[in-house]
Amino acid sequence: MPTQHMPLCTAFLRHQRVAAGAYSAVAETLAGLDLTAGTFLVFDDATGAQVDYPWPGGYAPEQPADTSLDEELRAAPTVGRPKLGVVAREVTLLPRHWEWLGQQPGGASAALRRLVDEARNASAGRDQARQAKEASYRFMSAIGGDLPGFEDASRALFAEDAAAFASKIGHWPKDVQTYLAWLSRNAFPV
């Protein structure tokens, strides 16, 4: 059964978290607040990116890809091109690469898909850590660029020094620390 992940966001008024959840729920909460009292920022929970509020009517953030559908399609191989999800793009390779690909079972396209899947699986942990660092840094820069120890905290984040990172953000406002700890949960090797 396909699983849908609802895009979530978190809103801050200055350094205090005032709303979190689905975009529609956060919009309802923000509509009931006096936002003229100070600076407020809204962040996408998946990327740490700042999003503009109020968002335009009918705005819906991009839905994450539904991986269960991809798994179902791979489970039942068929002859010929897949009917869903095919995107044609140009790939430039040397003649020796084309020769090798042409000798592979299923042809060049199937071999390239297998190679990409293998590379994705092999680097999944590194990719997840990189994405967590980038999301954390986006949030830190937007909300805490002027907080004391920001530069040292940034260095600790990218150096993957969890203890130094926790120490450098330890005196930041509690809601900022909590959200940042959640965003960076996969940024440090275990």
> How do residues 86-127 score in pLDDT, each as one tens digit?
777 888 889 898 888 888 888 888 888 888 888 888 877 888
Q: Considering the entire predicted model, what is its pTM?
A: 0.71
**Is a pLDDT exceeding 50 seen at residue 171?**
yes
Q: What is the pLDDT of residue 34?
A: 81
Identify the three-state secondary structure at position 115.
helix
> What does the alpha-carbon distance between residue 110 and residue 159 come to, in Å, rounded to a whole number?
38
> How do residues 5-55 score in pLDDT, each as one tens digit?
678 999 999 899 999 999 989 989 998 888 776 778 999 999 999 998 877
- Of 175, 133, 190, 160, nearest to 40 by C-alpha is 175
Q: What is the pLDDT of residue 132?
A: 94
**Kind and range of the H or E run holding 21:** strand 16-22
